């Protein structure tokens, strides 16, 4: 699917069709339902495969988690066999799976397949107009959110006992972000704040970035293993620390990349003559440039590259009657539609939205342990008690409003110092020049200064680059900016905007019309 979407490789079609028909061949039909009789398959089935004894295979969702990609295949290709298989599996799971009709399930959220299966059912329901499927998926989402604190600590074993009932797996976060994005973009709910809080907090904190701490915890670790770990994601985090399990599994690199990409993609939607900015993440598209200043300031700046109507969403915690709106620094009267403020911008104009950034302390009880979190806006700055070993939410530097305190570069862990130009933090000597060249050429502020000196402005892209380094390292040493773009486009659908276009590279399919993708013609792309 990724090869087809990114490269238009027609050789993928017969392979995908063969795989779908193979799955149909080993399934069982009963009316409009399709099921897999076992949780694994071989030419000779073993009796113990029919009913798994342990998690995760004992959960029905373990067999149907492929619906995340199968639903996308059915939507994209409209292949009759793929549509039949996807809808049949979805109906079976909704009626006989791990989730009761009210959505209040007790099971492993990701490893048990509940959330990946729900993502596929949500997509199918929206694509086919099946209101029952959509409502079912929304009930599952709301139940998970009711049992997940605001900073996104999604427990793997929801409602169960044992070690994984107190840990958060990054792949589960990716499923939750994916589900929230599908439902929100379809108008089923308004979950933008949920997505932003998860991405700003537990998702970023679940990433291995501190090589020195890993070395201290595992003194004998090989340098090559350490290099591969940095940028990866935790599979069993506690609310206040990583590396809680025996050793390092490192299985969540794909889930972490997917979640980062989904949050990045969902933050902006460009239409023909208007743009919607849903979340306060910085991002560049062919039509606008967005710089979000949270958690240092309640501020967003948007520059239009062409005449645009721009709709900016105000975070749920901000009072609408206190929002200030400016164009090129001058106060203006704007129109409102719910939580969206609308600006009419000419090419080159800059819209600014100012709002209050409240601070608060919140108490959480997770697995019989009480934690205290300190918040500013949608960012949790610290958690108490602090974790041992590999502590997380060590964001004390962000308590300084202008961000001028000394920070650590996520690329190489060397110090960043205060920038003499903008007052924020700027890199000093850094071993990871590739990462810094990548961002410096792609992100500049309105005075053409490098926003690398403002790490909060590029938090999703910084985390993505760290993961990309981990994914690329075993295959090829990436030296140039263009190689970063190529690998990013191929593996996660992520590029960083205008320099990519100027270099003559092709936009990711999210940015081009169907007519620019002939390999999707007639296939529902």
Range of the domain at 8: 2-265
| Residue 520 lies inside a defined structural domain of this protein | no
243 secondary structure, DSSP code? -
Alpha-carbon span 124 to 86, nearest angstrom:
8
Judged by DSSP in three states, 169 sits in: coil
The CB density around residue 269, as the number of other CB atoms within 10 Å, is 15
Give CA separation, 64 vs 60, 93, 140, 259, 425, in Å: 7, 8, 16, 20, 47
Q: Residue 154 has what pLDDT?
A: 94
Q: Residue 159 has what pLDDT?
A: 82
Alpha-carbon span 54 to 152, nearest angstrom:
27
Quick one: angle between helices 67-77 and 12-25, nearest 10? 120
Report, as an integer, the average pLDDT of 151-165: 87
Q: What is the pTM of this model?
A: 0.80
pLDDT digits over 107-153, tens only? Answer: 888 888 899 999 999 999 999 999 999 999 999 999 999 999 999 99
| Residue 53 lies inside a defined structural domain of this protein | yes
Give the CATH number for residue 135. 1.50.10.10
Report, as an integer, the average pLDDT of 27-52: 88
Quick one: angle between helices 481-492 and 459-472, nearest 10? 90
Average pLDDT score over the chain: 77
Per-residue pLDDT at 43 exceeds 50? yes
Question: Out of 160-164, 375-379, 516-520, which region has the weakest mean confidence (pLDDT)?
Answer: 516-520
Model confidence at 436, in pLDDT bands (50, 70, 90)? very low
Under 8 Å between Cβ of 292 and 280: yes
- Portion of the chain with pLDDT greater than 90, in percent: 44
| Residue 369 lies inside a defined structural domain of this protein | no
Report, as an integer, the average pLDDT of 493-509: 30
pLDDT digits over 121-132, tens only? Answer: 999 999 999 999
Q: Residue 5 has what pLDDT?
A: 64
Query: Which DSSP helix (H) or strand (E) runs through 384?
Result: strand 379-384
pLDDT digits over 190-214, tens only? Answer: 999 999 999 999 998 998 888 889 8
| Residue 332 lies inside a defined structural domain of this protein | no
pLDDT digits over 487-498, tens only? Answer: 333 323 222 222
pLDDT digits over 291-334, tens only? Answer: 888 888 888 899 999 999 999 999 999 999 999 999 998 999 99
| Residue 149 lies inside a defined structural domain of this protein | yes
Model confidence at 469, in pLDDT bands (50, 70, 90)? low
- Portion of the chain with pLDDT greater than 70, in percent: 74
Tokens of 241: 């620390």
The CB density around residue 66, as the number of other CB atoms within 10 Å, is 19
Render the burial of 329-359: b for 16+ CB within 10 Å, e for the rest. eeeeebeeeebbbbbbbeeebbbbbbbebee
Alpha-carbon span 413 to 407, nearest angstrom:
9
Per-residue pLDDT at 404 exceeds 50? no
Q: Give the number of residues written for the chain.
A: 525
Report, as an integer, the average pLDDT of 466-475: 48
Under 8 Å between Cβ of 296 and 326: no
Report, as an integer, the average pLDDT of 430-452: 34
Question: Out of 75-79, 235-239, 394-398, which region has the weakest mean confidence (pLDDT)?
Answer: 394-398
Report, as an integer, the average pLDDT of 79-93: 95
Q: Residue 59 has what pLDDT?
A: 84
Q: Residue 61 has what pLDDT?
A: 84
| Residue 137 lies inside a defined structural domain of this protein | yes
The CB density around residue 491, as the number of other CB atoms within 10 Å, is 17
The tokens 């595992």 sit on which residue? 218
Give CA separation, 292 vs 318, 336, 455, in Å: 15, 20, 11
| Residue 62 lies inside a defined structural domain of this protein | yes
Alpha-carbon span 341 to 313, nearest angstrom:
6
The tokens 């905007």 sit on which residue? 497
Q: Tell which wins on pLDDT, 230 or 190.
A: 190
Give CA separation, 515 vs 77, 78, 141, 512, 524, in Å: 16, 18, 35, 8, 12
| Residue 365 lies inside a defined structural domain of this protein | no
Model confidence at 507, in pLDDT bands (50, 70, 90)? very low
Sign of CA dihedral 198, 204, 207, 212: negative
Q: Tell which wins on pLDDT, 257 or 434.
A: 257
Under 8 Å between Cβ of 354 and 322: no
Per-residue pLDDT at 446 exceeds 50? no
Q: Report the candidate in 243, 234, 198, 195 with the shortest Cα–Cα distance to residue 216.
A: 243
Q: Residue 510 has what pLDDT?
A: 33
Question: Residue 371 burial (CB < 10 Å; 0-12/13-18/19+)?
Answer: buried
Alpha-carbon span 269 to 263, nearest angstrom:
12
Question: What is the residue-wise DSSP string for 424-442?
Answer: SEEE-S-S-HHHHHHHHHH
Query: Which DSSP helix (H) or strand (E) runs through 63?
Result: helix 61-64
The tokens 């410096």 sit on which residue? 440
Question: Residue 360 burial (CB < 10 Å; 0-12/13-18/19+)?
Answer: exposed
Alpha-carbon span 415 to 406, nearest angstrom:
7
Number of domains in the chain: 1
Model confidence at 418, in pLDDT bands (50, 70, 90)? very low
Render the burial of 203-223: b for 16+ CB within 10 Å, e for the rest. bbbbbbbbbebbeeeeeebee
Under 8 Å between Cβ of 73 and 19: no
Question: What is the residue-wise DSSP string for 470-484?
Answer: HHHTTT----SHHHH
Q: Report the candidate in 226, 241, 233 with the shortest Cα–Cα distance to residue 203.
A: 233
Report, as an integer, the average pLDDT of 380-407: 74
């Amino acid at each position: 699917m990724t090869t087809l979407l990114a490269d238009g490789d027609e050789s993928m079609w017969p392979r995908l069709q063969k795989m779908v028909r193979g799955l149909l061949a080993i399934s069982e039909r009963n009316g409009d339902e399709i099921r897999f009789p076992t949780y694994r398959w071989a030419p000779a089935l073993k009796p113990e495969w029919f009913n798994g004894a342990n998690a995760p295979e004992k959960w029905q969702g373990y067999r149907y988690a492929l619906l995340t990609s199968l639903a996308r295949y059915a939507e994209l290709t409209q292949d009759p066999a793929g549509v039949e298989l996807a809808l049949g599996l979805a109906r079976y799971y909704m009626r006989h799976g791990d989730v009761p009709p009210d959505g209040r399930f007790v099971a492993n959220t990701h490893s048990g397949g509940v959330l990946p299966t729900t993502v596929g059912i949500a997509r199918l329901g929206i694509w086919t107009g099946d209101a029952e499927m959509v409502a079912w998926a929304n009930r599952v989402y709301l139940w998970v959110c009711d049992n997940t604190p605001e900073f996104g600590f999604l427990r793997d074993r929801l409602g169960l006992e044992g070690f994984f009932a107190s840990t958060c797996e990054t792949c589960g976060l990716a499923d939750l972000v994916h589900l929230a994005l599908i439902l929100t973009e379809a108008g089923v709910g308004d979950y933008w704040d949920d997505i932003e809080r998860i991405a700003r907090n537990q998702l970023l904190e679940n990433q291995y970035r501190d090589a020195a701490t890993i070395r201290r915890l595992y003194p004998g670790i090989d340098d090559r293993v350490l290099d591969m770990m940095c940028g990866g994601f935790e599979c069993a985090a506690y609310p206040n620390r990583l590396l809680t399990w025996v050793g390092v599994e490192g299985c969540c690199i794909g889930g972490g990349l997917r979640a980062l990409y989904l949050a990045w993609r969902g933050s902006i939607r460009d239409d023909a003559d208007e743009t919607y900015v849903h979340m306060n993440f910085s991002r560049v598209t062919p039509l606008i440039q967005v710089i979000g200043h949270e958690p240092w300031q309640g501020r967003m700046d948007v520059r239009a590259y062409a005449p645009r109507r721009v709709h900016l969403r105000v975070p749920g915690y901000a009072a609408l009657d206190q929002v200030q709106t400016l164009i090129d620094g001058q106060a203006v009267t704007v129109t409102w539609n719910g939580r969206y403020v609308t600006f009419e911008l000419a090419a080159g104009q800059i819209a600014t939205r100012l709002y209050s950034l409240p601070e608060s302390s919140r108490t959480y009880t997770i697995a019989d342990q009480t934690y205290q979190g300190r918040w500013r806006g949608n960012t949790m700055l610290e958690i108490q008690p602090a974790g041992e070993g590999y502590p997380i939410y060590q964001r004390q530097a962000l308590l300084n409003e202008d961000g001028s305190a000394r920070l650590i570069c996520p690329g190489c862990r060397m110090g960043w110092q205060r920038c003499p130009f903008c007052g924020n933090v700027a890199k000093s000597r850094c071993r990871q020049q590739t990462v810094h060249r990548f961002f410096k050429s792609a992100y500049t502020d309105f005075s053409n200064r490098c926003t690398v000196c403002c790490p909060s402005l590029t938090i999703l892209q910084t985390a993505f680059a760290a993961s990309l380094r981990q994914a690329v390292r075993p295959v090829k040493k990436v030296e140039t900016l263009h190689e970063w773009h190529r690998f990013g486009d191929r593996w996660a659908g992520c590029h960083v905007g205008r320099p990519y276009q100027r270099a003559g590279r092709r936009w990711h399919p999210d940015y081009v019309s169907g007519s620019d993708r002939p390999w999707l013609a007639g296939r529902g792309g």
